[in-house]
Amino acid sequence: MVLRVFGIFRPQRMALPTDSPQLPAYGGLAEEFHPTIITYCLWKGGEYMQHEASGNGEKWRVQYEGQNGESGELAKIKRILAKRVTPGGARRRNPLRTVGSVPDAASYMGG
């Protein structure tokens, strides 16, 4: 019996300017999702600093999580990843694939 498990381990801290969240040691996050990290940092930084122009980070929280939890950057990542890891359904039999293997017409006419 083989058990395949996928998961994300806690990434190491990035100490050098050349470190990237795209590297497996730092999370292995695809480059297309890097702006989401920035949005998260802006949200938490706005809360911490009590940034009034962003509503104490609320502007970035809505962008990150979405107004209802289904429309933000985080939800977009979840949808994309769900499409990547969801197994496809069973392949349906295609009866048209066998059309080319029909014997000659004479065998149907009794000849």
Give residue-wise pLDDT tens across range 51-103.
888 888 888 888 888 888 778 888 888 888 787 766 665 666 666 665 555 55
Per-residue pLDDT, 16: 92
Number of domains present in the structure of the chain: 1
Domain span at 40: 24-85
Q: Is residue 74 part of a domain?
A: yes
Q: Is residue 14 part of a domain?
A: no
Helix axes 73-85, 58-65, angle to 10 degrees: 20
Where are the strands (E) in 1-111, listed by range? none
Report, as an integer, the average pLDDT of 21-33: 87
Q: Is residue 12 part of a domain?
A: no
If DSSP codes are grouped into helix, strand and coil, which group holds residue 88? Answer: coil
